[in-house]
């Protein structure tokens, strides 16, 4: 009998079963994944169940369902993007709080994650999609999704933020057939076609005004 090390090139992900997970993120920066199978379907009018344990001043800001092999992009207050696969996120139960993002990502002092976007499950569609950025100061920018598929462990620049206090507020995949809807805290709202915003070639750029 001869032993072979042919499995040495196998990556951890090759051993991870594909399973749908409910990913939950809180305002204070806690994240977890819970198997979708732990949540049972309820009839309309049902009471529901706890989805995350939070402190009194904390609350859930993001919830989505994604496969364990789905890449997730994390955009920070400094305009940096980080990437992790769902299976690398801390697993918990519906009652658990999760783990702080500052203990998972190489964030600098004072840097925090402001928005999160899972990549579409169909990798074949990535080359056909764009991403639309929106910041707290009303700036928007459009890039090819392919600009953000390869992200190293330390992250990379996602968007240049020039104004003091400006942060990435939202990032969504889009096509030319979609519309952008922006709403300000003053109650103003604007809708315009994605095609009104040109595709920027650089990640280290500011963008254009989306709403005053």
CA torsion through residues 58, 61, 67, 69, sign? negative
What gap in Å lies between CA 143 and CA 156, rounded to an integer?
15
Residue 134 CA to residue 166 CA, distance in Å, equals: 10
pLDDT, tens digit, 9 for 90 and up, residues 52-70: 666 678 899 999 999 999 9
Q: Which domains does the chain have, with CATH numbers?
A: 18-38+51-209 (2.120.10.90)
CB contact at 8 A, 179 and 194:
yes
Backbone angles phi, psi at 26, to 5 degrees: -105, 165
Of 152, 84, 156, 79, the closest CA to residue 115 belongs to: 79
Q: 153-190, pLDDT tens digit by residue?
A: 999 999 999 888 899 999 999 999 999 999 999 999 99
> Of the candidates 166, 159, 160, which has an alpha carbon nearest to the alpha carbon of residue 137?
166
* Mean pLDDT of each 10-residue bin along the chain, 212 residues long: 53 86 94 91 59 74 95 96 97 92 94 94 89 96 95 95 91 96 95 97 93 86
- The reported pTM is 0.84
CA 73, 78, 83 angle in degrees (round to 5)?
Answer: 20
Predicted pLDDT at 100: 95
């Amino acid at each position: 009998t001869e032993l072979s090390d042919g499995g040495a090139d196998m990556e951890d992900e090759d051993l991870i079963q594909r399973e749908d997970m409910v990913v939950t993120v809180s305002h204070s920066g806690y994240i977890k994944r819970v198997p979708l199978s732990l949540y049972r379907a309820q009839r309309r009018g049902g009471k529901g169940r706890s989805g995350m344990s939070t402190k009194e001043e904390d609350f859930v800001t993001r919830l989505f369902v994604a496969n364990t092999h789905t890449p997730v992009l994390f955009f920070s207050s400094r305009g940096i993007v980080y990437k992790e696969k769902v299976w690398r996120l801390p697993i918990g139960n519906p009652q658990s709080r999760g783990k702080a993002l500052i203990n998972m990502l190489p964030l600098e002092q004072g840097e925090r994650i402001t928005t999160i976007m899972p990549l579409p499950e169909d990798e074949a569609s990535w080359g056909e999609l764009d991403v639309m950025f929106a910041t707290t100061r009303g700036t928007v920018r459009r890039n090819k999704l392919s600009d953000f598929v390869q992200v190293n462990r330390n992250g990379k620049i996602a968007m240049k933020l020039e104004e003091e206090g400006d942060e990435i507020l939202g990032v969504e995949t889009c096509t030319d057939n979609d519309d952008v809807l922006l709403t300000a805290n003053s109650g103003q709202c604007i809708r315009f076609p994605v095609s009104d915003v040109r595709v920027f070639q650089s990640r280290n750029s500011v963008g254009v005004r989306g709403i005053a």
